[in-house]
Amino acid sequence: MNLKWKNIIISAIVCGVVLLVVTFAADFIATLIAPYSIMDLGGMRSMDDPVMALYFLYPFVLALMAGIVFDIVKDSIKGESPCHRGIVFGTILFLLLVIPEFWLLYTSMDYPTGFYISAVLSGIIAYPLMGIIYVKIWEKFS
C-alpha cells in the first residue's frame, strides 16, 4: 500500500482546523438551546492542567486517521460529483464515530442535553465538510 502522505498531512491540518472550529461552534449553539458548561462535567481536567492542552490536538489526530482511511478507500467511494463523494465519506465517518460515541455516552453517563446536542451537531456538520475537503485535496494533488 502506497499512501499519499502529502495529501494526508495537508488534509489533517485543514480538516483538523475545520473540526476544531465546527466543534466550538456546535458547542456554542448547543449551549444556547440547552445551557451547560463542558468544564463542569465530571471527569474533565481543569483548564490550567498542562495535559489539557493535548485535548485540543484531538481534531488533528482524528483528521489524520480519517485521511489515512480516505486514502485507502477513496476509489471505493462512488458519487456523481466530488461533493457527493465527500458527503458519502463524511456520512461514513458520522456513522462510525458519532453514533457509537453517542450510544456509549448516553447509556453510561448522565450528561446535560446540550452536551449530546453538541456532539451530534458537530458530527453532522464537520464530517461531511471534512469528506469534501479530502476529495478536493486528493483531486488537486493527485
pLDDT tens readout for residues 57-112 = 999 999 999 999 999 999 999 999 999 999 999 999 999 999 999 999 889 988 89
What residue type is assigned to position 40 of the chain? D
Mean pLDDT of 7-28: 97
Whole-prediction pTM:
0.92
Q: Which of 13, 101, 21 is nearest to 63 (CA)?
A: 13
Domain map (residue ranges) of the chain: 5-141
Mean pLDDT of 127-135: 98
